[in-house]
Structure 1
């Protein structure tokens, strides 16, 4: 299952991404965490100490990622003609989660006991000349070529706010957890996500965070209604962990909330056809808007009719 954590800046989405990833890993489930935030703090939140794990960031190696994934697909003559929404077709290299392939071997390192990939920071050389979504394009391509199986998880810490809707990346997930504090600002991003997600049939669930009492919980219920899945209370354990001195275990209520998140992620079967349908739709949108002009090619021709990247495609 592909899981995204989104929310307003400061809502705790990176902390929740790390808690959920570690919760899955400690259960023995195959899990890959991906830091897709413009502020790259997921490794630290996972409990990594010292220098950032020395895995080359996906965003800095986008041409190589494209070259590998296009494989022998005759509809994609070069990596230069491949854009972030280019869907796989016959001949493309499809990936198994944490498989024995070039992408995972080059870009995955462990942080706090969890396999981690990073998009890379938005650095000074990018200012005024680049968009962070170009770095996220590598994540979009990775997920588009990934065949994750039952009981396998990809957990992505996304950019803050509603920025994910600037590309088709938001359609790459099986469920999106929107982390919201019990404040008006905390739930403001929810309304944007709710409206966009409903248009495309995307599953979203709100996770209340930093809830300190019944008034906070009532506020969230009034604001988001049935979309409120669960909530986490103020956590001395998390604060201690952020200060590098955590001992013992996460509070029982918060541990239960993580179980609820996993149950929600597992509740629906994978819709491979739906994922491919959204991928093609956004690819054609990008082709018309800018892709054809930028590449000098007819990118609609990259779509392989009737091809669905599901586990049977590996055969």
Structure 2
């Protein structure tokens, strides 16, 4: 199952991603992906080794994923939205190319990252060019039951700059009990409308029953659970030793509710395939055909089974 964490900058999105990724390892293997420009997920997970950036080796990733797909003659003819077809490589969660090249392992958890801006990127590149590596990975990934991909996304509505926001079985929007936090939820809900994006709100930094009531009044049934202000989490953020056993019982139960919600989702491969094709056609006609000098809409293999 693929899980995205989104929310306002400063909402605790990265911390919640790290806590959920740790918790999900109790149920199965986890690949956590830092797709936020600030690149703090490894720090939150207590992983000191920096992964090889996905965004820095995009051509290599394209060459691997295209395999011998006859519709994609070269990496140059492949863009972030390119869908898999017959002959494409379809990695699973244990694929050695991705795990050996790009992942840092900590038990049953592997961390991958898009990578930060390089010196050459400053002033000339958009961060979404790096996110294209994650989008291609998820376009081609075949994940199975009891396996989890946890992605710490860019903050706010910036996630909508590509079709990446449709690549998840469930999206958790982390919201503080404030007008700003609710505002981001409303904006995300509005943009996601019509795309069949399952969305649940996680209230974070909750300090009272009034905070819970505030969230419930503004998001209604979308509020799945809440995380109370946590001395254990604050200690973790300060770099002190941390295990899930240090969490307060109510916060541990909140993580359990999140995992149960993810496991209850049905994998909708038909939606993934349909939306992958739709966004590829949209990008091809908007900019990619012009950039490559090719008609990339012909890359869609209508006979290919997505999973």
Whether these two folds match at TM > 0.5 is: yes
C-alpha deviation, 1:192, in angstroms: 1.3
Q: Indicate the residue corresponding to 1:196 in structure 2.
A: 191
Q: Indicate the residue corresponding to 2:200 in structure 1.
A: 205
How high is the TM-score relative to the length of structure 1? 0.94
2:263 to 263, 266, 274: 266
C-alpha deviation, 1:306, in angstroms: 3.2
What is the alpha-carbon distance in structure 2 between the residues aligned to residue 13 and residue 22 of structure 1? 14
1:296 to 289, 293, 298: 293
What is the alpha-carbon distance in structure 1 between the residues aligned to residue 50 and residue 235 of structure 2? 26
Q: Indicate the residue corresponding to 1:72 in structure 2.
A: 68
Helix, strand or coil at the partner of 1:136: helix
Which consecutive unaligned segments of at least 5 residues does structure 1 have?
A: 311-315
Q: Indicate the residue corresponding to 1:156 in structure 2.
A: 151
2:53 to 54, 57, 80: 57
2:246 to 240, 244, 249: 249
Contact 1:237–1:246, Cα closer than 8 Å, also in 2: no
Helix, strand or coil at the partner of 2:120: helix
Helix, strand or coil at the partner of 1:3: strand
Which consecutive unaligned segments of at least 5 residues does structure 2 have?
A: none
Provide the alpha-carbon RMSD of the alignment: 1.3
C-alpha deviation, 1:47, in angstroms: 1.4
2:125 to 126, 130, 145: 130
What is the alpha-carbon distance in structure 1 between the residues aligned to residue 241 and residue 61 of structure 2? 38
How high is the TM-score relative to the length of structure 2? 0.97
C-alpha deviation, 1:195, in angstroms: 1.4
> After the TM superposition, which residues 151-230 of structure 1 pair with which residues of structure 2 at under 5 Å, given as runs?
151-230=146-225
Moved over 4 A (4+): none
Q: Indicate the residue corresponding to 2:40 in structure 1.
A: 41
What is the alpha-carbon distance in structure 2 between the residues aligned to residue 239 and residue 114 of structure 1? 22
What is the alpha-carbon distance in structure 2 between the residues aligned to residue 268 and residue 208 of structure 1? 20
1:227-277, CA deviations, whole angstroms, 9 ceiling, x for partnerless residues?
A: 111000000000011112245521111100001111111112211111010
Contact 1:238–1:246, Cα closer than 8 Å, also in 2: no
